Structure 1
Amino acid sequence: MAVFDVKHVGSLSPAVPREGAGPSPCSACEIRSLTICAPLNDIEQTQMAAIVSTVELQSGNPLFDEGEPADHVFNVTAGTVKVYKLLPDGRRQVTGFLFAGDFLGLANQETYAYSAEAVTLCNLCRFPRRKLENLMERFPRVEQRLLNIASNELAAAQDQMLLLGRKTAREKIASFLILLARRARQRGVNDNPVFVPMSRTDIGDFLGLTTETVSRTFTQLKKSNLIRLLPDSKVELSGREDLEEIAGGF
C-alpha cells in the first residue's frame, strides 16, 4: 500500500542512518518471513546482509523526497511509514501506509516518484539499489519476491481508486479500518483493536476527505457503537460485521 499534518516536508530534519557495523541485522530479524529476504537460505542471507545498513527514523522525519536520486531501496522492519505525492497546487495525496515487512523505494527511473515519511518511530533495512540489482541476478528468488510485491502494490492502488471514487465518507472510513485490521492480521499481530497511528489529516489525505470530515465520521461511528476510541491510538471495531457491510466487501 504503495503509504498527516505536515505541510513542509523539506523543513524536517533528515533521516539519520545507522550503519550496521556489528552482527548481521538479519540474524535476529523477527519479520524475516515478511521481507524480500524470506526466500533466501542462510548462505544467501549472509551475502544479502553484507550490503544492508539500518536506518532509524523519528516520527515526522522524511526517508526520502520525490525527485531525489533513487540510490537506495528499503524494507520496513518496525513502525509505520506514509508515502505521498505533492500536487502542483501544493496539496498532498497520500498514496499508502507501509508497515513492518513492506518494501519501498523501487523506481523505474533514476529518481524517486514519491516521498516517504515516518508516521511513528521506524526502523528500516536499507539496500544500495545497484548492489541489490546485482544480487538479484544471482538470487532469482528475490527478483520473484519483488515481482510479487509489485503485484500487491498494483492491487492496493486499485483498491484506493475505489476508495477515492464511488464511496461515501462513512464507507471510506469503514473500509480504511477494515483494511488496517487485515494488514495487521497478515503481519501476525492483533487486528482488534486496530492500531491507527496516523493523524486525521493523514487519513483525509489518503481517502480524499477533509480533516473535519474524517473527525466527524469517526464520531458518528463511535455514537453508533460501531467503534470505540481507545488510548494509544487504538480503535476497537465493536461492530466489525456492520463495518464490513458498510465497507461494501472492501
Structure 2
Amino acid sequence: MKTKIHAADYYRRMLSMQPHALKRLDALAKIVPCNRGQEIPNNAGPAGHWYYVIIGAVRRCAVRSDGRRQIVDLMLPRDFFFISDSQSEATIEAIAEETVLASYPGQRVEMVAERDVEFARELRDVTFQSLTRSQAQLLIIGRLTALEKVGSFLLSLDGRASDASGQVVLPVTRYDIADYLAVSVETVCRALTDLRQRGVIRLADKRTIKIVNRSALEERMRESSMAAGV
C-alpha cells in the first residue's frame, strides 16, 4: 500500500514541535519529502546543506573495493547530517517508504554561527552527534560474532528511540542491516532467529522486535566487550 504523503505544512508543524539544535533556522528550512531509494539532493556547492530527519530513515553508503555496498551511517528521526560537493564518494539516500527531511542551507548556517556564539556551540554539538553515530557503528561491527553485532544493533536502535521502551521498529530492511553490520543477510536472519529461540527477543511482525530480556542481551554485550578488550 502506498504511503500517504502529507502537505509540506503538516511536516513543518511536526518540525516546529521537535526540539533540535538548529531550531532558530526552522523558518528558513525547506521541507524535502523523499521516496525509498531516492538520493538526497545537493546543489549548494562546497557550503552544502544540513539535513534534519523529521520522519523516516536515511543511509550514507560507500562501495568497497570488492564492489559490495557498506552503510557507513544510518540517520533516524531527530538526527542531523551534512552533504557537500566534497562528499561525492558517498551516496546518501532515503530508505523508508515515508522519509521527510528539513534542509538548511550550509552557507546560511555558517553565517549565523559566525555571529552567534550560542548557535555555534549548538552546531558543534550537532557535529559531535554525527561523530558519535560513527563511533557507535564501529563498536557494533567490531563485535566478535554476528549474534553480538545484531544484538548490539538492536540495543542501539532502542537507545536512539525517544522512549527506549524495548519495542524496536526496524527502520530498514534486513538487507540494509546486513550492509550496516558488514555481514550477509542470511547471517542477520540466523542471528535474529537465534535471539528469538533464546527468549531474548520476540518478533511481533516483520519490522517490529520486542526486547523481552534486556538484561540477558546487555550482559552478553558486556561479556563480548571484555573478551575483545573494548
Out of 227, 234, 237, the position equivalent to 2:208 is 234
**What's 1:96 paired with?**
73
Out of 101, 109, 116, the position equivalent to 1:139 is 116
Per the TM alignment, residue 92 of structure 1 is displaced from its structure 2 partner at its CA by: 1.1
Structure 1 residues 225 and 89: alpha-carbon distance in aligned structure 2, compared to 1, 3 A threshold: same
**Contact 2:11–2:100 (8 Å) recurs in 1:** no
**Contact 2:61–2:70 (8 Å) recurs in 1:** yes
Residue correspondence of structure 1 range 170-209 to structure 2 within 5 A: 170-184=147-161, 187=162, 189=163, 191-209=165-183
Matching residue's letter, 2:94: A
Structure 1 residues 237 and 110: alpha-carbon distance in aligned structure 2, compared to 1, 3 A threshold: same
**What's 1:36 paired with?**
21
Matching residue's letter, 1:25: R
User: Which one has the bigger helix percentage?
Assistant: 2
Q: Distance in 2 between matches of 1:166 and 1:182?
A: 18
Q: Distance in 1 between matches of 2:12 and 2:181?
A: 35
**Unpaired runs of at least 5, structure 2:** 1-5, 226-230
**Contact 2:80–2:126 (8 Å) recurs in 1:** yes
The number of residues matched between the two structures is 217
Structure 1 residues 68 and 111: alpha-carbon distance in aligned structure 2, compared to 1, 3 A threshold: farther
**Unpaired runs of at least 5, structure 1:** 1-17, 39-44
Per the TM alignment, residue 241 of structure 1 is displaced from its structure 2 partner at its CA by: 0.8
The alignment partner of 2:200 has SS state of coil
**Contact 1:81–1:119 (8 Å) recurs in 2:** yes
Q: Distance in 2 between matches of 1:233 and 1:190?
A: 16
**What's 2:133 paired with?**
156
**What's 2:192 paired with?**
218
Per the TM alignment, residue 162 of structure 1 is displaced from its structure 2 partner at its CA by: 2.5
Structure 1 residues 100 and 133: alpha-carbon distance in aligned structure 2, compared to 1, 3 A threshold: same
State the superposition RMSD in angstroms: 2.9
**What's 1:25 paired with?**
12
After superposition, what is the alpha-carbon deviation per residue over 1:33-58, rounded to whole angstroms, capped at 9, x for unaligned?
Answer: 1x2224xxxxxx3xx24432110012
Q: Distance in 1 between matches of 2:10 and 2:154?
A: 38
Structure 1 residues 112 and 76: alpha-carbon distance in aligned structure 2, compared to 1, 3 A threshold: farther
TM-score by length of 2: 0.82
Per the TM alignment, residue 27 of structure 1 is displaced from its structure 2 partner at its CA by: 8.5
Q: Sequence identity, in percent?
A: 27
Per the TM alignment, residue 86 of structure 1 is displaced from its structure 2 partner at its CA by: 1.8
